[in-house]
Structure 1
């Protein structure tokens, strides 16, 4: 598998609803892919990326890779 999660962060849509944005590095085609968790149901993402994210989704929702923008 060529995907590696880099970070997640909470963003809000135009209506103010919070969503989790995920940033993933695809090492096979050197690129960074940005998407929100609700986009997993759409056909825009590769199926193997969807499987990777579904496998670690609970960790994402718990904030394991969350970046708040605050330095400590």
Structure 2
């Protein structure tokens, strides 16, 4: 697998709505990809990345990688 979650964080859009932003490292083409969970269904992202996110979506929503300064096991 070439994708690895680096961190997630809550961001607020212009309308004041809170969303989860995901930061993913793509190791095959060394780059960092940023997107919010509502954007991950768009055609801009590779299918393999979408499948990876769907597989770990419950962990993301439960805050496993959420950046708060605390360590999560």
Query: Alpha carbon RMSD of aligned pairs, Å?
Result: 1.4
Structure 1: any 5+ residue segments left out of the alignment? none
Q: 1:15-46 CA deviation, whole Å, 9 max, x = no partner?
A: 00000000000000000000000012210100
Q: In the alignment, what sits opposite 1:21?
A: 21
Q: After TM superposition, which residue ranges in structure 1, 4 or more long, deviate above 4 angstroms?
A: none
How many aligned positions are there? 71
Paired position in structure 2 for 1:34: 34
TM-score (norm 1): 0.93
Distance in 2 separating the partners of 1:52 and 1:19: 19
Structure richer in helix, relative to its length: 1
